[in-house]
Structure 1
């Protein structure tokens, strides 16, 4: 799902603004990691 929202003005964001929903986060993170994608893990958000 991609969300598109009209706005009156726009300035580029200094951070990532794209996200998506998944049913099995652990599986998806492993699949991405196997393909060379680096993920960030934050303390307190362990699965």
Structure 2
């Protein structure tokens, strides 16, 4: 996998973006498509 397929959630902890979004969709969330809004969305969840 390429590096951009992963996001850093906490220092040193990387997770796979696709599986995160898949899980969130199963839980009823739909993350924004744009990268800029992804960051504000991420911090709203306080990861």
Q: Same fold (TM over 0.5)?
A: no
Which category of TM-score, normalised to the shorter sequence, fits these structures?
A: 0.3 to 0.5
> Which of the pair is proportionally richer in strand?
2
- Higher helix fraction (1 or 2): 2
Question: TM-score scaled to structure 1, two decimals?
Answer: 0.40
Higher relative contact order (CA 8 A, sep 6+): 1
Larger radius of gyration between Structure 1 and Structure 2: 1
